[in-house]
Structure 1
Amino acid sequence: MQIVTSVAALREVIRQWRQAGHSVGFVPTMGNLHAGHIKLVSTAKQQTDKMVVSIFVNPTQFGPNEDFASYPRTEQQDQEKLIANGADLLFLPAVTEMYPQATQTGISVSGLSALHCGASRPGHFDGVALVVCKLLNMVQPDLLLLGEKDFQQLTLIRQMVADLNIPVAVQGVATVREDDGLAMSSRNGYLTDQQRQHAPKLYQALIAARDEILAGHVDYPAVAERQRQNLQQAGFAVDYFSICRSKDLLPASTCDANLLILAAAKLGTTRLIDNLYFSTINN
């Protein structure tokens, strides 16, 4: 696996690949890699000739009271995992390489950026959109792989790519879970042992809400409120628990068949997010 730290070196490697006729897959990450990230890598390897992973903890997507400084950085272990799983190139830029001067250009996907996570993390998705757009311009991949755990982020990036005519296919990859259902996340390491025992209840609440709907409960706000209360009783501080239509993440109605339940909640200081897609057709 090659490791590069500059945009110029990254582009030179990819130029050589393109001259050889290779297709390129890309997985952007903030490091502290787990099995969910590795699934993205393996999926990209199955569908493209060459595979790029970036590790960059992006400061523009963290709010002033969030965990940028303490976000887990495990570069050596990450490199070993990527080598073991056949990544071809690791792009490992410094903040000064990604943002060499004060950025005067921003990207905001209106509407989507203000919903759900965006409501409680103002500016977060503008930071995500900016860094992903920059990375896509640097790597210029054929295929971009993103995890479905961050479904709002996935939806937003798809919209940005479509709106800006960026020539890349965007593919979501299913959430990888622990044996007890907890969605894998770099932030799970913040949980205490006791919190870790309670954490799977977030996914259990999503399943319970889905099952209520499939059983014929069509008052979606009431279904969501019941699960919010259950999570609060289990010790979560609930940010949101929303039953949406999957195409645009707006509130679902009984006319919508393809639904997505999105949830975010804190256990102690650790913010967990998760979601569950399902269809009411043929159920």
Structure 2
Amino acid sequence: MVLHGKIGTEIEIKAPADKLYNIFKSAHLIPNISTAHIKGVDVHEGDWETHGSIKIWKYELGDHVGIFKEQVELDDENKAATLIGLEGEMFKYYKRFKAVYQFTQKDEGTGIANLWIEYEKLNEHVEAPDRYIGLMVNLVQDLDAHFLGAIIINMALRKVETEIEIKAPAEKFYNIFKRQAHHVPNISSGSIQGVQVHEGDWETHGSIKSWNYSVGDEVGVFKEKVEFNDEKKSITLNGLEGDVFQYYKSFKPVYQFTQKDEGNIANLSIEYEKLTEDVAAPDKYVGLMVNIVKDLDAHFIKA
């Protein structure tokens, strides 16, 4: 009478194999991704990432909610996570229970998840653990969809940028955006007609302002939440509302100023996501940024 055995399956994955393997090394994220199948996971001994650590999983399988306590083996070379069962509901039926997830990258767009369980029954009447393989498949499919969604979002984000030489010190440009943005409409009146604080103040990271601008024949409003990076002398305007959102799902202009011995540089960029594919890239708004910086440069040199 043979009581021990091994069952498994192979499924295609679209997300990188590394991402799927690594999530088992930071497994606390899994219940947030595969909410229908994994209700919780806690470290019992060790930590999230160390080979040999012990964790307790709370899972749902059909109408059944169960607990699985395991000791993990991590094989970085083969991208395999082996969960050696120690305690749990399945030990009512099995003397030994070991679940293995192995991820293999085939090419840039696809990979393979090999999922198997090595087991030993308590008696000959116990069925093979096929339903637990089904749980493993559902879990991997949830993870794959999560990572693939993140990849698609990143692919949808685009960037346009330009670099211009400036004569005034980089510090002056950075400071006017950080502390004196209310002066910008007076200096670059052809491009900026007004700016108001909506939340916070002129100087605080995370404050919200609304800008009135004109570019060509277009007059618009742009409401943004600002991020300051003192080390890089960069100002990021995270778009919240405004006319640009008729065409773009996300819109983030960035001004960065660099002091160099051979000539100072303003790097001006916009990260964006189109609402539809036929929308043009926001080159004209980069042109607006160029005009503002040139006006500021002329003002600083004159002063």
TM over 0.5: no
Structure number with higher relative contact order (C-alpha < 8 Å, ≥ 6 residues apart): 1
Looking at CA atoms only, which structure, 1 or 2, has the larger radius of gyration?
Answer: 2
Higher helix share: 1
Query: Shorter chain as normaliser: what TM range?
Result: under 0.3
What TM-score, normalized to structure 2? 0.19
Higher strand share: 2
